[in-house]
Structure 1
Amino acid sequence: MKIASIINEHYDAFVSRYKGKVLPGHLKALNAMRHCRTPEAGELYVRCPDCDHAKWQPLSCGHRNCPQCQNHETSHWIDRQRNKLLPVHYFMVTFTLPREFRSLAYRNQRIIYSLMFSCVSSTLKDFGRNPKHLGADMGMTMVLHTHSRKLDFHPHIHAVVPAGGIDKQRRQFKKKKGKYLFHQKALAKVFRARILDGLNRLGLAVPKGIRPEWIVDCARVGTGITALTYLSRYLYRGVITERNIVAHQNGQVTFRYTESKTGKSCLRTLKGEEFLRLILRHVLPRGFRRIRDYGFLHSNAKKILALVQLVLHIRIHLPELRPRPAFMCPCCKSSMLVIGFRPPGNKPG
């Protein structure tokens, strides 16, 4: 089911119903997705060098929330992450912001999301540096998700962490032994304290009735590539794929999701404008980075990463850039050449 058709049918109803609550970035996302791969998004004039067949080829919108776009960027990210994997076990640690904070987080997205990244990274770094746990500097890749399986607003951060760290003084890589990285309840306690302290420093009111125990999940994920592949699904292509939109009729949209507790496939049906509101709640503020590396995996830690490579006797190669898929001639299946460009909004005269 094409999301563009849903947007076109319910655009006016959405704007009318949520007037005053719609952010400029939301309308920009809607307009990008509704015009994706149409002449309104711009066109390339391509010609086949073998049979001279030529045509105008509509461009994709390139918006990071469009389910039709960014497949190339996702594949390239996976390639880069695969080339940084170390020969150790990996863990995925998930830090969740409790329900009581969701309204505050939605009203102050840039501030709260940045605070979450800061608190998660500092918590993991301090646990790693503690001699009782590891006594070394760790590296981690963190991804912000704002949705639950049902696409409700549910901010949380996944951190993919190699089970070990570098002791720079001893020039030694210490591997974490056992089936567990750190104690989940201890991580949650420190994360909670740092979030509350951060809110006080920022002058934001702490919601009433917050629970004393927060949830942090720490799961062993083998070599790490499976966890990274899972996280890559939502990096550049929005929170829902078009194949999971199973019906659009009578002004309603039905989509499929997997229930987290049972693993069963379930359906959820909403009015068209409510569905648009649901997916737009996960559009991040302009320029905000969903993916961040910390520790020896940070882009500014190349010397430390080189030390890790030396100690572990490995070489992490930068992946070659994947070539973008060529336009194929519908007549002879040869690669077509780009020989012209029509900017967005310029229709043929």
Structure 2
Amino acid sequence: MEDKSAKEKITIKQIFGDHWSKFKQLKWHTIPEDMRESVEEAVQKMLGCGDPKNGYTKSMCTECGEEKIVGFTCKCRFCNPCGKVYIENWVNKQVESIIDTSHRHTVFTIPEELRRRVYWNRKLIKDMSDRAAGIIEHWYKKQSQKKEYTVGIITVVHTFGRDMKFNPHIHALVTEGALDKFNVWKPVNYIPYAYLRKAWQKVLLDLMKEKYGQETKMRNLINMLYHRYRNGFYVHAETRMTDARGAAQYIGRYLARPAIAEYRILSYDGKKVRFWYEDHKTHKIIELELDVLDFMGRLIMHIPQKYFKMVRRYGLYRRDKNNQAQKVVSLWNYVRTKNILKTKTFKTRKLNWKERIIKEFGENPLACSKCKNEMELWEIWHPKYGYIYDITRDAPEVKEDGRRKGLDGHTVRRRETRGVLQLSLQTM
């Protein structure tokens, strides 16, 4: 197979299409047994993304007769293009629930010696998220004495480093403040590093002791980790965000970001894949070449188990607490700044697929390639449900003069009202 580095863009879909069967023959044993169904489903969705046999929409230009068929997207986070859309939609949704106060982005890391255990037992990740949130909640409650502070926390699981190796860690978005039991907002913008590191080390090693404490090897490892990391496990908590959208965007980029962006793939010759990444410590660009099956393995090890919650909410971000917290903080902002704008509720509208493409590429996907007239939806087909929409069956009849004729013989006139397309009947 020829090297595709210079001639065309290299895609993850192309690499998996070439070697997925071979990977399952030779490397399937490297995937935890309880993860294989989820991995298979995610890969098959990605491979079938955009294939008309999995469903499509057909548009037609009523001026020149040009047709355009667009296959359904898979909407799978493992798919690079769909993952990007997932993040955008998630961020827009979160902006409505993010409390309008400053947030601190905190990252809880896991020492390399424990990562293999987490790889083979993904259920540990949920416990890790709970315990990371727990040490933050504990610190706030300890500071509040009898006022019972409740802080807002959103955690997001991230499982890879820049070299795509399995490196699970927990991102936490934490409000710089809390509500007390009297619903009074109390700004708090500092949690000591020493506490975070030591507390995180203890709760994580306690978790390992609970799960594997019967193993002599694990007990010895726990003792060694306490000795090796005398200051606790590494926790990063320097990034501060002052507005709701910025906070949602910052944490959202970790939610469904693919393990590697396709522009980082330098070459692929059918046997090996060469790519680059920026070293986190030195900030130098490092190039790495892997056997194609090893490259695929580094990607699929980050596919989450089906129905696993990558995002978890605690304290003020629980559904039963969030609305109340937003009202209190908005009022507090108003009293503090006398700025009525601070009391508004963030509302966003999710872009449809046409608007997303125009925003991304500056082109209308419905514009006819020949005459540039906007094409009209002609049919929608799904492999399970058949023809969901067919203009010859479902739409009013079109007369030769371009006007539509309804089933009762009346002309159909279209008009735009408040951004919604309405159909009205007008007697001829």
Please report how far the alpha carbon of residue 250 of structure 1 lies from its aligned counterpart in structure 2 after TM superposition: 5.0
| Counterpart for residue 187 of structure 1 | 196
**Local SS of the residue matching 1:68:** helix
Question: Structure 2, unaligned stretches of length 5 or more?
Answer: 1-9, 227-231, 335-342, 356-364, 387-428
The corresponding residue for 1:117 is 129
Whole-Å separation in 2 of the counterparts to 1:342 and 1:44 = 9
Answer yes or no: is the 8 Å Cα contact 2:209–2:219 preserved in 1: no
User: Match for residue 174 of structure 1?
Assistant: 186
Unaligned runs of 5+ in 1: none
- Residues paired across the two proteins, number: 340
Higher relative contact order structure (alpha carbons within 8 Å, sequence separation ≥ 6): 1
2:167 matches 1:154: yes
Equivalent pair of 1:121/1:294 in contact (CA under 8 Å):
yes
Deviation at 1:215, TM superposition (A): 1.2
The 8 Å contact of residues 69 and 237 in structure 1, kept in 2 or not, is answered as no
1:102 aligned residue (103, 110, 115): 115
Q: CA deviation at 1:95?
A: 0.5
Q: Using the alignment, how far apart are the partners of 1:7 and 1:184 within structure 2?
A: 43
Match of 1:343 among 376, 383, 388: 383
Which of 338, 353, 368 does residue 324 from structure 1 map onto? 353
Match of 1:131, SS state, is helix
Report the CA distance between 1:261 and its aligned residue. Answer: 0.9
Letter in 1 for 2:134: S
**Partner AA of 1:166 in structure 2:** L
Distance 1:140 1:250 in 2: 45
In 1, distance between residues paired with 2:376 and 2:134?
50
Identity of aligned residues (%): 22
RMSD of the TM alignment (CA)?
A: 2.6
2:270 matches 1:270: no
User: Does residue 221 of structure 1 match 2:250?
Assistant: no
Q: Quickly say closer, same or farther: Cα 1:288–1:255, change in 2 above 3 A.
A: same
TM-score of the two chains, using structure 1 as the length reference = 0.87
Matches within 5 A, 1:9-158: 9-22=18-31, 23-49=36-62, 51-86=64-99, 88-109=101-122, 111-131=123-143, 136-158=149-171
Match for residue 235 of structure 1? 255
For the 8 Å contact 1:153–1:281, the answer to whether it is kept is: yes
State the match for 2:408 in structure 1: none
Q: SS of 2:81's equivalent?
A: coil
Conservation of the 8 A alpha-carbon contact between 1:49 and 1:337: no
CA separation of 1:24 and 1:143: change in aligned 2, threshold 3 A: same
Flag the structure with higher helix content. 2
Between stretches 85-94 and 247-256, larger displacement belongs to 85-94
Tell me the SS of whatever aligns to 1:174: strand
How far the C-alpha of 1:218 sits from its partner, in A, is 1.0
User: How many angstroms does 1:54 deviate by?
Assistant: 2.1
Shift of 1:38: 2.1
CA shift, 1:247, in A, is 1.2
Question: Residue deviations 1:218-273, cap 9 Å, x none?
Answer: 11323265564344334235322222222111511112222111223322211111
Paired residues of 1:72 and 1:324 also in contact (CA < 8 A) = no
- Deviation, 1:132, is 6.9
- Partner Cα separation in structure 2 for residue 320 and residue 289 of structure 1: 24
CA spacing shift, 1:227–1:173, aligned 2, 3 Å:
closer
